[in-house]
Amino acid sequence: MPQRHGAPPLSDAGALDCAAVYTRGVPHGRFARLRSRTPVVWQDGRTAGRPGAWAVLRYADVHRALTRPGLFRPQSDGVLHGPMIADVPDGARPGRRPPGTALIDMDPPARAMLGRIPRREPADFVADVAPDLPETLRNTLAGGLYALLRHPEQYGRLREERSDERLVDSAVEEMLRWWTPVLQVWRTVRRGTVVGGVPLLAGERVTLWLVSANHDEEVFPEPERFVPERFALGARPHLCFGSGHRACLGARLTRVHLRALLVALLEHPRTLRLAGEPLPVRSSARHGFERLPVRWTG
């Protein structure tokens, strides 16, 4: 029967690569249904304007692919996920850096950033507070902050228990897992193999959905909940930065910045709250905000 009104509905698999879907948030329900039925599923790529690929959704399968670069060759997705540091030539004068070298601030000015939020006026975290940060780092900080704003009871609890270093460290990892700033990474199959019961051929592309793996209920019970103590209680490592010797070089930098922001928030005399409706980025690869309005209360 012909479709008379509007476009046909997207299937769960078809929706995963549709950028418009993510303007309403990550479709965790679709990921969960696919993990339970078809954890390795074909995506034709048309909604994303690229070649088709096998979507790998379960934690165990994603972890296996990430730790076997000899079998799954990494592909660049055009997004800079970590800092790129050029070698400094011998004899370079202190205080000067060659073109292409990025400065890494391992003592992030988190309190100065929060100082950009007026005492009585709302501000946009993206445009007003962290506009000068690299995109992926900015998305990570915004996502970690959003985890607190969406879970005010945990925000309050962390403020009361901020002297517990182990809890704070665990909360940083839970922010990364709960948000997952890079949704997917790409690989090419080097030789025939089987993943999740599906035969894959040499030369075929796969997308490893980090956000799905990090919300796999078989590994992280009640994955939609933000549980600050989850990793202090022995949860398996999340896959935000990949795994193995090809893990993201920016992992340490990201953790340092996110922890500094969390500590600055917990020590601030006032509490940050949402000041309007956030606007997520329109992307099936990057997880961030176009706009995240916040304001101080208390």
Average pLDDT, the chain: 87
pLDDT confidence of residue 95: 39
pTM of the model: 0.87
Choose the weakest-confidence range: 103-107, 175-179, 238-242.
Answer: 103-107
Alpha-carbon span 164 to 166, nearest angstrom: 6
Tokens 């925000």, residue located: 155
For helices 152-160 and 135-150, give the axis angle rounded to 10 degrees.
90
pLDDT confidence of residue 9: 64
178 has a pLDDT exceeding 90: yes
Q: Which amino acid is at 40?
A: V
Residue 101 C-beta-side C-alpha neighbours within 13 Å: 12
Contact 287, 212 (CB under 8 A): no
Tokens 């969390």, residue located: 262
